[in-house]
Amino acid sequence: MTDVILKDAVKAIPTSQALIEDPLLNKGTAFTQAERDAFKLNGYFADVVETLDTQVARCLETIRALPTNLDRYVYLRDLQDTNETLYFAVITRNLDELLPMIYTPTVGAGCQQYHHIFRRPRGLFISYPNRAKMDEILANPRYDNVECIVVTDGERILGLGDQGVGGMGIPIGKLAIYTGCGGIAPDTVLPITLDTGTNNAERLADPLYFGWKHERVRGEEYDSFIDQFVEAVKKRWPNVLLQWEDFHKNNANRLLDKYRDALCTFNDDIQGTASVATGTLLSAIQITGKPLSEQRVAILGGGSAGVGIADLIRMAMVSEGLSDEEARKRFFIVGRYGLVTEKTPNLDTFQLGFRQDSKIIDGWDVAEAGKASLYEVIKFAKPTVLVGVAGQPGMFTEEIIREMGKHTERPIVFPLSNPTSCVEAQPSDIIKWTEGRAIIGTGSPFLPFEYEGKTYHFAQTNNSYIFPGVGLGTLAVGSKRVTDAMFLAAARALAELSPAKAKPGDRLLPTLDRMREVSSHIAVAVAKQAMAEGLAPKMDDAAIKAAIKAKTWEPVYKSLV
């Protein structure tokens, strides 16, 4: 919030009570004596004017005393709705400890329990029955400064499926990361949930569920509603950055394809996941010494995330000299029917580019003619990289991992499904099954593991490494669009910061307490790529860094008088 906007916001506050209840302006016990006098706050607080540091210490004491991570999630959400500066001071100073509380894996339980733990409204719910009032809903003057929106329809929340309006926990959490890790000012972000109903029988039967109790709208009605929303957003905020989040695979790719050239927009499940997976892979091959162009990649999960990962790695391979055809042959997508080939039934359009020739299976000794399971793909295709994004726990079995270890000296294994209840294999087991040779990235955080006298750290291959920097760079230079090439630039920038690059055997990715540094570094790379593509005005390096610094908000109290 700029000083001018801040002063205007304070002038608009009608009463001292309203000032305390505004999370963007509230300072709690840190209101100065001058502010207490000016806004008639004397008596609301005890005599001592506390510092932000003291308030942070009190919050941490409370957080650490709570019994469960869900309790901590609820406390932090209350804190965010009470005092945003304090909330972000707490999390930015303790990202390594608290990021799992505000996002994966705890946010999954938060979404499932959203209608039970609800306290105060945050963001906007736009329901299908209220579609005629969409412009009115978006017109709220409180959102005049919005620059970044995260929107979901709640149909595919992490690996948990349809959570209806409970999916609002995801946009709230993502935007908290935008601010905490990327420095996007909290008064410029807006979480939105599009309530098109739910097919979750448990939610529909719950008397406390407060979403539209109706089966999901499909087909032309759904598309018309989404189109109305996009047009309303473009009219209200012509230069906004719009992030699509946790849409079902039947909608995610086609909505991205439909709108990616209509406004500045991206889908984090497709492009953000692809970018962090690619960046982590680029970090891993710095350890193995084997170039990207020689990697063979098996991906469990043929949905939008899995194909998105394949496509960005393919782009990187082509940039290193492979032809597009050569690159595509190095990917083995395994879905519900086994290895994806031209004979696989019911393929979506976005999956067609990664079909293997079914003739490849003819030379394999498979249990069922014409089909190949994940184990058979590992045994006969001999991939060097294995990625899991299917949301099915335990799918990377000991047999599969040991088979991979037979033909790959340093297997690269990424069990990325979230939350931890959906992970394909415990990383500690993968270490044991490969005698400590595996290089591992996980979607959720896992504690270090001791094996035969060595400590193994597992890179949390989480989108939070990517999208805050992409957003920061995009907004700082006013890019008109977000492109796949910008996400590849982000992936390469992330790999540049890999501790393993400077010290073999070290962590694949920077520690979470360096997230603001990571986001700033990625923002520079993204901004330069946007300029190279003619999407933003040309700037020199100094001007780019200055624009990024100017866009970076810090959680400190500003004087209100």
Is there a catalytic annotation at residue 75? no
Annotated binding site for (S)-malate: 156, 418, 462
**Which phi and psi (to 5°) does residue 513 adopt?**
-70, -5
Q: How confident is the model at residue 5 (pLDDT cuts 50, 70, 90)?
A: confident
Is there a catalytic annotation at residue 178? no
Rounded to an integer, the average pLDDT of 49-59 is 98
Residue with the larger pLDDT of the pair 503 and 58: 58
* Share of residues in the chain with pLDDT > 90 (%): 92
Return the pLDDT at 249.
87
- Look at residue 3 and tell me whether its pLDDT is greater than 80: no
Return the pLDDT at 12.
74
Annotated catalytic residue within 27, 114, 143, 174: 174
Q: Which helix (H) or strand (E) holds 63?
A: helix 52-65
Return the pLDDT at 13.
76
**Which phi and psi (to 5°) does residue 127 adopt?**
-95, 155
Q: For residue range 375-397, what is the model confidence (pLDDT) as tens digits?
A: 999 999 999 999 999 999 999 99
In this prediction the pTM is: 0.94
From the centroid of its chain, how far is CA 332? 25
- Look at residue 129 and tell me whether its pLDDT is greater than 90: yes
- Look at residue 319 and tell me whether its pLDDT is greater than 70: yes
Annotated catalytic residue within 103, 209, 259, 557: 103
Domains of the chain: 51-247 (3.40.50.10380), 271-462 (3.40.50.720), 465-551 (3.40.50.10380)
Annotated binding site: 156, 245-246, 269, 418, 462
Cis omega (within 30 of 0) for bond into 468: no
Q: For residue range 337-386, what is the model confidence (pLDDT) as tens digits?
A: 999 999 999 999 999 999 999 999 998 999 998 899 999 999 999 999 99
* CA distances for 115 relative to 163, 210, 403, angstroms: 10, 7, 45
Sheet holding 148-152, edge to edge: 124-127, 189-195, 148-152, 241-244, 264-267
CB 87 within 8 A of CB 186: no
Q: For residue range 447-474, what is the model confidence (pLDDT) as tens digits?
A: 999 999 999 999 899 999 999 999 999 9
The pair of three-digit structure tokens given for residue 336, joined into one six-digit string = 């519900």
Q: How confident is the model at residue 4 (pLDDT cuts 50, 70, 90)?
A: low
User: What is the residue type of 235?
Assistant: K
Return the pLDDT at 173.
97
CB atoms within 10 A of CB 376: 21
Q: What is the mean pLDDT of the chain?
A: 95
Label residue 384 exposed, middle or buried (CB < 10 Å: 0-12, 13-18, 19+).
buried
Rounded to an integer, the average pLDDT of 18-45 is 95
Return the pLDDT at 506.
81
- Look at residue 530 and tell me whether its pLDDT is greater than 90: yes
Q: For residue range 182-229, what is the model confidence (pLDDT) as tens digits?
A: 999 999 999 999 999 999 999 999 999 999 999 999 999 999 999 999
